[in-house]
Amino acid sequence: MTLKQSLTFGSLTLVALAGLSLPTAFASSTSADNAEADASEAAAVEQSAFRKALKFGFSGQEIQGGVMLGDAPAGTRSLTLDGEPVLVAEDGKFIIAFNRDAGQSAQMVATLENGETVRKYFNIAPRSWKIEHVNVARRSGGPSAAFMALRMPELEQINAARQVQSGSQGWRQTFIWPAKGRISGMFGSQRIYQGEPGSYHSGVDIAGATGTDFVAPADGVVTLAAEKPFSLEGNLLMIDHGMGLNSAFLHASEILVEVGQEVKRGQTIGRIGATGRATGPHLHWSMKWNDARIDPILLTGPMG
Ligand SMILES: [Zn+2]
């Protein structure tokens, strides 16, 4: 096993599980015989190299709503995060992310080329979300039957779009802002209605005039382009960036791409609007990695 060149990220060593056998030569080197002592020394060096080769590289933040790019040793057979499979590209690169409400730790388990199992624990930093207490009751009674009849097929389309594995390589890129403008809503912000929490804001809102172009933040494949406005999202556009990472753009006045179309980072894909449930024209951009809702700002950095 060789050290991969791509360990340029801040590296973290995965600790080998207890009870794993050392190479036989190392374990049996108790004889005082010189030849065997040499062999033992060589084995110790080998063992040291082997431990180095167990290194996984990571970049990104161990933080709620955060995303990390990873780099696995060559030949890694499988990878899971909290028991869920993580896809690994042929070159060993992979992506993981932590949900907005992720707990304090997450566990990664890898099966290496030689069959050995190693694991790593992430310490996920909590965020202080913008919480607003309002002295009004949360809407009671739940959605009406008429609303649900309209909503169910929309949710089915959204879920189907999220299942698409397009093979896009956009997940490897540095993401850019799909539009520039005042940030009118932060990811994760939440209202508490007389002590009862409402659902948190699932994306970032960028204010902009109706008709303003917005672009793809990274390469991807269009997985949903609403033919008519959805009840909440309005004209909804979804893009798969590969490896379980996807973007959704809500409230568009116009969608300029079609399902199945490949888009490039920076390509104009739609126009800002106020369709669906929106108080004014803006672009709502939300991102998910598998089931984890993530904060787009952690992929783009602050707006330049
Ligand atoms: Zn929003």
Domains annotated on the chain, with CATH: 11-123 (2.60.40), 131-297 (2.70.70.10)
End-to-end CA distance of the chain: 42
Arithmetic mean of pLDDT, 166-193 = 96
- Residue 46 has a pLDDT of 57
Query: CA 267 → CA 86, 138, 228, 243, 302, distances in Å?
Result: 29, 40, 23, 21, 20
Ligand 1 geometric centre to CA of 285 (Å): 7
More confident residue, 24 or 77: 77
Residue in the block written with tokens 């007389």: 194
Residue 264: pLDDT over 50:
yes
- Residue 136 has a pLDDT of 87
DSSP 91: T
Mean pLDDT taken over the chain: 86
Backbone phi, then psi, for 66, in 5-degree steps?
-95, 165
Residue 60: pLDDT over 80:
yes
Residue 216: pLDDT over 80:
yes
Ligand 1 geometric centre to CA of 234 (Å): 12
Residue in the block written with tokens 């050995």: 116
Residue in the block written with tokens 């700002």: 297
Ligand 1 geometric centre to CA of 185 (Å): 6
Rounded to a whole number of angstroms, the CA Rg of the chain reads 24
Residue 103: pLDDT over 60:
yes
Residue 98: pLDDT over 70:
yes
More confident residue, 263 or 143: 263
Ligand 1 geometric centre to CA of 286 (Å): 8
- Residue 52 has a pLDDT of 52
Ligand 1 geometric centre to CA of 123 (Å): 28
Ligand 1 geometric centre to CA of 143 (Å): 20
Window from 7-11, 46-50, 54-58, 74-78 with minimum mean pLDDT: 7-11
97's tokens: 């992310």
- Residue 143 has a pLDDT of 83
> In 3D, which of 220, 219, 229 has the Cα closest to residue 250?
229
User: How many C-beta atoms surround the C-beta of residue 263 within 10 A?
Assistant: 23
- Residue 142 has a pLDDT of 79
Name every residue whose Cβ is closer than 8 Å to that of residue 37 and which is 6 or more positions away in sequence: 29, 31
What pairs with residue 125 in β-bridges?
63
Ligand 1 geometric centre to CA of 203 (Å): 6
Ligand 1 geometric centre to CA of 99 (Å): 17
Ligand 1 geometric centre to CA of 279 (Å): 10
* Amino acid in the structure at residue 47: Q
> In 3D, which of 236, 248, 226, 232 has the Cα closest to residue 143?
232
Q: pLDDT over 90 for what percent of the chain? A: 72
pTM over 0.85: no
Cα–chain-centroid distance for residue 261? 22
| Digit-coded pLDDT (tens) for 16-57 | 333 333 332 222 333 344 555 666 776 666 555 545 555 788
Ligand 1 geometric centre to CA of 195 (Å): 22
Ligand 1 geometric centre to CA of 233 (Å): 9
Round to whole Å and give the CA distance between 236 and 224: 7
Residue 273: pLDDT over 60:
yes
**CB-based contact 142:150 (threshold 8 Å):** no
- Residue 137 has a pLDDT of 86
Ligand 1 geometric centre to CA of 230 (Å): 14
DSSP alpha helix (H) spans, 133-292:
145-163
Ligand 1 geometric centre to CA of 196 (Å): 20
**CB-based contact 187:100 (threshold 8 Å):** yes
Query: Buried b vs exposed e over 269-281: b needs ≥16 C-beta within 10 Å?
Result: bbbbbebbebeeb
| Digit-coded pLDDT (tens) for 225-248 | 999 999 999 999 999 999 999 999
Q: Could you give the maximum distance between any two Cα atoms of the chain, in Å?
A: 85
